[in-house]
Amino acid sequence: MCDHCGCGHPDGAQDGSERMISIQQDVLAHDRAHAEQLRARLHQLDARLVNIVGSPGCGKTELLAKLITRWAGELRCVVVEGDLATDNDAERIAAAGAPVHQIQTGTVCHLTAHDVEHALAHLPIEPRTVVLVENVGNLVCPSMFDLGESLRIVCLSVTEGTDKPQKYPVAFREASLVIITKNDLLPHVNFDVDECIRQIHDIRPATPCLVTSAWDGTGLEQVAQAIADLWTEPL
């Protein structure tokens, strides 16, 4: 899908050359260094960044909109939206009451720390601000890139199937918190919550997992608390 992360070439190089693999590794190393600098800078500002990863339609935007409404007057938040095209999600976030900047990536399937840093120049970052980054929708490429986050959330909806952790293990291996969304739809789909969490823990034992519904509010208080707790964690 893009040349940046090499996802267009499953073997990591179009012609199998060591040079192509070396270049890809250099790009990732450069991005990790940039992410570390951004994380340190945000901590100096007493701000925290949350990187939210998940498939298209898994409920990331609705989750953010409900959290923003819940935090009104309590926790400052700004949002960075990543999509290949349109500013539809940014409009939804703005309607919920948060400052937001939309990044249209074109053909690039993930955000980088460099993208986020540029976006933050358009947003007010004050002490005790949480920067919520809704990454481009997929469970593959965003897992490879550190954005300077203090928390990486992977969202998985009950409509996607119980076996998604087994199919996309890297995404769940890198997760700080897994949120199972759209719990209100459980009576209408074939999804085993306990089995899904077991698969997640096979990949990364003890990963916190929360079952939520933005529709009826299930689990949203726990998500909000997990983010608020970032100010009690050391850098």
Interior/surface letters 203-234, b for 16+ CB within 10 angstroms, e for the rest: beeebebbbbbbeeebbbeebbebbeebeeee
- 18 pLDDT exceeds 90? no
Q: Could you give the C-alpha distances from 144 to 135, 157, 179, in angstroms and in order?
A: 12, 21, 19
50 SS3 class:
strand
- Please measure the distance between the N-terminal and C-terminal CA atoms of the chain and give it in whole angstroms: 34
Mean pLDDT of 154-183: 98
Mean pLDDT of 201-213: 97
Distance CA 130, CA 151 (A): 11
Strands (E), the chain: 47-54, 76-83, 100-104, 129-134, 151-157, 177-181, 209-211
- 11 pLDDT exceeds 70? no
pLDDT of residue 184: 97
Position with higher pLDDT, 86 vs 13: 86
> Which domains are delineated in the chain?
18-232 (3.40.50.300)
Please, are residues 47 and 125 in contact by the beta-carbon 8 Å criterion? yes
Q: Which pLDDT tens digit goes with each residue over 81-134?
A: 999 999 999 999 999 999 999 999 999 999 999 999 999 999 999 999 999 999
pLDDT of residue 12: 47
Q: Could you give the C-alpha distances from 89 to 56, 60, 203, in angstroms and in order?
A: 12, 10, 31
- 72 pLDDT exceeds 70? yes
The pTM for the full model equals 0.90
180 SS3 class:
strand
Please, are residues 49 and 150 in contact by the beta-carbon 8 Å criterion? yes
- pLDDT band at residue 74 using 50, 70 and 90 as cut-offs: confident
pLDDT of residue 13: 47
- pLDDT band at residue 235 using 50, 70 and 90 as cut-offs: very low
pLDDT of residue 57: 96
- pLDDT band at residue 27 using 50, 70 and 90 as cut-offs: low
Mean pLDDT of 127-144: 96
Mean pLDDT of 59-69: 97
